[in-house]
Amino acid sequence: MIRLTVRLRSLLLPASFLVPLLLAVLLSIGHHGFGQTPPPVATALPAKPVVLNAAEDLPKADFVETRDPARVPPAPAPSSAVNPNAPGTPGSPNLQSPPPDPFGSRLFTGNFLRTRQDGLNPDYLVMPGDRVMVNTWGAIEGSNVYLVDAQGNIFLPNVGPIQIAGTRNADVTAKVRAGLSRVYARNFEVYTNLLTAKPVAVFVTGGVVRPGRYAGVPSDSVLFFLEQAGGIDARLGSYRNISVLRAGAKLVDLDLYDFLLRGTLPPLQFKDGDTVLVNARGPIVEMRGDVTLPATLEFKPGPVTGAEALGVIPGAARATQVTVEGIRKNLPISRTLSVTGFRTFDLRDGDAITLRGDGRADTILIHLEGEFNGPSVLAVRRGARLVDVLNFVSVDTALANPAAVHIRRTSVARAQKTSIDDALFRLERSALLALSSSQGEAGIRVREAELTQKFVERARLIQPLGRVVTARDSQQRNVVLEPEDVVVIPSRTNVIRVGGEVMMTQAVLFRPGARASDYISDSGGFTDRSDTGRVIIIRANAEVAIGSSSLAVFPGRDPRAAEGRHEDPAEFDRRDSGDLSNRGVGRGGHRHPVNQLWVDRLSRDRPSDSQARRFARPTRRRRR
């Protein structure tokens, strides 16, 4: 297709910035305008990578490299002198970035507060202040609620006290039955039910966010009380050294890593006045890079090896190298080890550990887009070249346009985006910093700056395609492919899109011998603001031609189809109306397939043709 556009006179934006910026934007977005979205790239990987040397029964396009193969330089070898810690290198540690969150910090996100227990589980130990309902029938009948007194007894009439404090909730019935058996030998039954558990108040202090006294029930978990206190302070508290004190004596020590890694916590029932003490944080190391979860790990005092760190947070399967940065003998060190060597490496407090996948795969993935047969993703060796790969791609030459093959490259798209953003920044800066000599001019400058900023906001949304022209003089260059390159094999087309500063944007069919001016006339001609001497033609192979409206326009076709012969235009129109395969055009065969034709706007630096004629028209003197 062809697209044709003409340029408007810019009344407010400086032409020195706007003209190159709009041209850069147009060339970057390629076939797509401001309001259009690039076609999606096939990213689904095949179940098995395609074998490039397999025989194919389908027709193949013959991509021939005419240059001497002996003079083609080999693919560049991967450099071994790359600094893995250079700024911007993926996976390199940034010493200025904040440390990762402590391992286990996700425990305290409100879950334990929302799942509080009621204290009536079977393992609950009865305490003074609890209320128990006792039902009896048979030789003795009765139903009453009894309070466990300070001595841990309930008092039953005609029976006396029965000690139940410290008894499991599931064993209370058996304990009461044994007490009744002292008076009634047989012919009675007993049923008990623990109604309420006495609330307890527990102190939480040490390295927590909000130390204080918090209420709960005796069977509540230590995590419930820690979460009420805001969780463990990442800078001060320890996840591995938590003590529960009762009457000033240590009752139990807790290590939350046991709960996080193995799901175990020691059995514990709180009493009123107990204290949960979070001790000071122990030695720590930072784990970053290719790990399952970047985190700050804490270890107990004593020798620690890399194997223990990997036991807490395993490295990713692709990680092959480990860099350790830290302090040894009051001097900074930085050491790179293999994953195997890191397992026996001694770690110290404050070490920063970065795992990286520095190994390079022998193959890279290349995506295919457009008209082709077979899988859309190819696994090729690193350093493979375009023509070598294309010779193993099956295409239907009746549908595909091998002469227009080009590449969309991610690295080029990033560079184009950077260039556009830089041009937009300079444009915005020039508008905001423009000087004014009068109040009226100042008002104009303010309005100009507002319009410029609106334009900049919209232009920053453009995502360039990163197209690379790989064909020159009808020959495909055997360029080295990069990972994630998209090789575009366009379809044959006989449609030309015309857009920009023309009366009517539309798509028309190709006519042999017609030039850009003819297609512009078919679209209603130029607008008043068009630059008639600046027509942009974007060809199907991503090549761009800029010139006057006399530029030749060619359809998308195989350049070898009509070499050295002439064709009747009527015959061409008749055959191409239903079949676009292998049709030639014009004398000698044209080699530049076209996709779209664009007419630029007129700059305020040069007048339009109508203005030039008006200014050049001589004035007539009136006869007296």
Residue ranges covered by each domain of the chain: 131-196, 199-280, 284-356, 489-615
User: Rounded distance, CA 141 to CA 147, Å?
Assistant: 19
User: Rounded distance, CA 34 to CA 527, Å?
Assistant: 20
State the pLDDT at residue 117: 54
Please give the C-alpha separations between residue 617 and each of 147, 613, 614, 624, in angstroms, as whole numbers.
Answer: 115, 6, 5, 22
Confidence of residue 7 (pLDDT cuts 50, 70, 90): very low
Do the Cβ atoms of 272 and 228 come closer than 8 Å?
Answer: no
State the pLDDT at residue 597: 67
> The sheet that has 495-500: what strands, in order across it?
506-509, 495-500, 594-601, 530-539, 544-547
Do the Cβ atoms of 258 and 289 come closer than 8 Å?
Answer: no
Q: In this model, does residue 295 exceed pLDDT 70?
A: yes
Please list the residues that pair with 532 across neighbouring strands: none
In terms of C-beta density within 10 A (0-12 exposed, 13-18 middle, 19 or more buried), how is residue 114 classed?
Answer: exposed
DSSP letters of 559-581?
A: TTTTTT----HHHHHHHHTT--S
Q: List the one residue out of 358, 297, 299, 288 whose CA is nearest residue 324.
A: 288
Question: Over pLDDT 70: what percentage of the chain?
Answer: 71
Report the chain's terminal Cα–Cα distance, integer Å: 61
Question: Over pLDDT 90: what percentage of the chain?
Answer: 29
State the pLDDT at residue 251: 92
> The sheet that has 406-408: what strands, in order across it?
377-381, 363-370, 486-489, 406-408, 467-468
Least confident piece of the model among 67-81, 153-167, 444-458, 472-486: 67-81
State the pLDDT at residue 324: 94
State the pLDDT at residue 212: 93
Helix (H, G, I), strand (E, B) or coil at 516: helix
Return the H-helix or E-strand segment holding 423. helix 410-432
Least confident piece of the model among 228-232, 263-267, 331-335, 417-421: 263-267
User: Rounded distance, CA 467 to CA 409, Å?
Assistant: 6
State the pLDDT at residue 538: 86
Q: In this model, does residue 589 exceed pLDDT 60?
A: no
Please give the C-alpha separations between residue 154 and each of 132, 187, 341, 469, in angstroms, as whole numbers.
Answer: 8, 22, 66, 93
State the pLDDT at residue 410: 93
Q: In this model, does residue 415 exceed pLDDT 80?
A: yes
Confidence of residue 240 (pLDDT cuts 50, 70, 90): very high
Q: List the one residue out of 132, 124, 221, 194 whose CA is nearest residue 166.
A: 124
User: Rounded distance, CA 90 to CA 84, Å?
Assistant: 8
Least confident piece of the model among 199-213, 515-529, 574-588: 574-588
Q: List the one residue out of 174, 184, 191 whose CA is nearest residue 139.
A: 184
The distance of Cα 115 from the centroid of its chain, to the nearest Å, equals 34
284-356 maps to which CATH number?
A: 3.10.560.10
Q: List the one residue out of 386, 578, 623, 598 whose CA is nearest residue 497.
A: 598
Return the H-helix or E-strand segment holding 370. strand 363-370
Q: How many CB atoms lie within 10 A of CB 562?
A: 20
CATH match of 489-615 with 3.10.560:
yes
Looking at mean pLDDT, say which of 34-38, 46-50, 219-223, 302-306 comes out highest: 302-306
Residue type, 181: S
The answer to whether the predicted template modeling score (pTM) of the entire model surpasses 0.75 is: no
State the pLDDT at residue 412: 93
Q: In this model, does residue 56 exceed pLDDT 50?
A: no
CATH match of 131-196 with 3.40.50.2300:
no
CATH match of 199-280 with 3.10.560.10:
yes
Confidence of residue 27 (pLDDT cuts 50, 70, 90): low
State the pLDDT at residue 546: 87
Dig out the tokens for 328 from the structure.
């040894």
Helix (H, G, I), strand (E, B) or coil at 236: coil
Please check whether the two domains, 199-280 and 284-356, share a CATH topology: yes
Interval 249-285: pLDDT, tens: 999 999 999 999 998 888 888 888 999 999 999 999 9
Please give the C-alpha separations between residue 432 and each of 6, 176, 435, 449, 452, in angstroms, as whole numbers.
Answer: 28, 88, 9, 6, 9
Higher pLDDT, 16 or 249: 249
Mean pLDDT of 379-407: 89
Q: In this model, does residue 351 exceed pLDDT 90?
A: yes
Q: In this model, does residue 50 exceed pLDDT 60?
A: no
